[in-house]
């Protein structure tokens, strides 16, 4: 099975299944000498852990990362960085019933049809447990970006149709997103969502939502037309996460109903650092697939979690209709835990493009 590696120079491979011994990653191509300590990785993994508020799975993993190679005396060696996160809280018996029955909306059935053999425990490799490995790899990329003045931040912009204020609004509070269970940047909105989530939980239902991500401090010039445009690579990175059904940059789908004069971001002035100042950011920081020096802004739409508690009708392996009641510990909405994973995938794309950019021009090599 191919498709477990990502990136060209800063290249990541993830491995592991939900109820196997461990998940982990190998990061190849990270330059030597970058300061990196285990606490950086630990901190990012802690942000992906289930929070309270009944919105996240009750599976309590320790998520303790172990760096096996590539780091010496607190700095990267330039050799492959292998990080392993052992699985410690599997409850595989919850999945015995799912051995021969397919969950509607999950990957079980197509996986079985394609490969003919799968680890059904906890969703195997199609489980979001795999995203812990991406976050560990992303922590390395974020350390590299931080050294280069670039920061990446994501939060839940809406959950179950309830919208948080936009990042330009006075009510927007990014500190709040780090303390409530929904990763929503507004206490009032988070309280409203808490009520809605409780209602859905009682009904055995789940919810979707939107994660917004912004990257600041990006140099202009990231992204390689035509197939490796910045927005194309980010779309690929984010769409590779389970449950993502859409992505939009800047004004996104709303741009489709604007006039040209409304949609165009007027350039105002060249700054000393080679950046360009714009009157707006409908482009979301990308023009022609190349970063334009403005803040990178995109949003990803996540569907409701497919494993719901209420009874559903489905098919078994033999094609017989069955009634299914799903046991196991599942998120009700993925957004609070998906936001750090979106940050990780964004950081991986940006770190790779920052390194690739060095080869852009003969006169700067």
Ligand X SMILES: Cc1cc2nc3c(=O)[nH]c(=O)nc-3n(C[C@H](O)[C@H](O)[C@H](O)COP(=O)(O)O)c2cc1C
Residues in touch with ligand X (CB under 6 A): 57, 106-107, 126, 128, 131, 241-243, 303, 305-307, 330-331, 334, 337-338, 341
48 or 142: CB nearest ligand X: 48
Residue number, 140 or 342, with CB nearest to ligand X? 342
Report yes or no: 122 and 90 within 8 Å, Cβ to Cβ: yes
Q: Smallest Cα–Cα separation from 294: which of 199, 221, 189, 201?
A: 221
- Alpha carbon 303 to its chain centroid, in Å, reads 14
Specify whether the CB–CB gap between 149 and 142 falls below 8 A: no
In the bound state with ligand X, the residue whose beta carbon lies nearer, of 25 and 338, is 338
Output the smallest distance, CB 237 to ligand X, in A: 13
Q: How far is the CB of 179 from ligand X (least distance, A)?
A: 19
Q: What is the DSSP letter of 84?
A: E
Q: Which is nearer to ligand X, 143 or 341 (CB)?
A: 341
Cβ nearer to ligand X, comparing 18 with 76: 18
Residue 272 CB, nearest approach to ligand X (Å): 41
Residue nearer to ligand X on the CB measure, 115 or 362: 115
Beta strands in the chain (DSSP E): 5-6, 11-16, 22-28, 65-69, 71-72, 75-76, 81-86, 151-159, 162-163, 209-216, 244-249, 267-270, 276-278, 286-287, 290-291, 296-302, 312-315, 321-324
- Residue 105 beta carbon to ligand X: minimum distance, rounded to whole angstroms: 6
CA distance 236 to 239: 5
Instruction: Give the three-state DSSP class for 229.
Output: coil
Beta carbon of residue 240, minimum distance to ligand X (angstroms, whole number): 9
Q: How far apart are CA 140 and CA 145, in angstroms?
A: 9
User: What single-letter DSSP state applies at residue 179?
Assistant: T
SS3 label, residue 77: coil
Nearer to ligand X by Cβ, of 283 and 341: the residue is: 341
* Least distance between ligand X and beta carbon 188 (Å): 25
State the minimum distance, in angstroms, from the CB of residue 130 to ligand X: 9
């Amino acid at each position: 099975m191919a498709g477990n590696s990502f990136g060209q120079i800063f290249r990541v491979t993830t491995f592991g299944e939900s109820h196997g011994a461990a998940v982990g990653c190998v990061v190849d191509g990270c330059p030597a000498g970058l300061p990196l300590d285990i606490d950086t990785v630990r901190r990012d993994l802690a942000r992906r852990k289930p929070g309270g508020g009944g919105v996240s799975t009750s599976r309590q993993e320790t998520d303790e990362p172990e760096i096996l190679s590539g780091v010496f005396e607190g700095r990267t060696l330039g050799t492959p960085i292998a990080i392993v996160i052992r699985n410690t809280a599997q409850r595989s018996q919850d999945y015995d019933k799912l051995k021969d029955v397919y969950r509607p909306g999950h990957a079980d059935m197509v996986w079985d049809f394609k490969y003919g053999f799968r680890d059904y425990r906890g969703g195997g490799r199609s489980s979001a447990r795999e995203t812990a490995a991406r976050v560990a790899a992303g922590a390395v990329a974020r350390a590299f970006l931080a050294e280069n003045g670039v920061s990446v931040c994501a939060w839940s912009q809406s959950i179950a149709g309830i919208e948080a204020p936009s990042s330009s609004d006075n009510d927007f509070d990014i500190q709040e997103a780090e303390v409530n269970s929904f990763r929503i940047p507004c206490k009032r909105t988070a309280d409203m969502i808490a009520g809605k989530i409780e209602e859905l939980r009682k009904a055995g239902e789940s919810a979707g939502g939107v994660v917004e991500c912004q990257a600041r401090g990006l140099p202009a010039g990231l992204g390689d037309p035509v197939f490796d445009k910045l927005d194309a690579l980010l779309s690929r990175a984010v769409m590779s996460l389970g449950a993502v059904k859409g992505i939009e940059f800047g004004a996104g789908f709303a741009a489709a109903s604007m006039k040209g004069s409304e949609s165009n971001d007027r350039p105002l002035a060249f700054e000393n650092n080679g950046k360009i100042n714009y009157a707006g950011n409908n482009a979301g920081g990308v023009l022609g697939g190349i970063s334009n020096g403005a803040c990178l802004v995109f949003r990803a739409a996540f569907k409701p979690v497919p494993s719901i508690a209420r009874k559903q009708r489905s098919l078994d392996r033999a094609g017989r209709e069955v009634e299914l009641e799903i046991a196991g510990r599942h998120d009700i909405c993925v957004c609070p835990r998906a936001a750090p994973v979106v940050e990780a995938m964004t950081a991986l794309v940006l770190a790779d493009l920052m390194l690739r950019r060095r080869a852009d021009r003969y006169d700067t090599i």
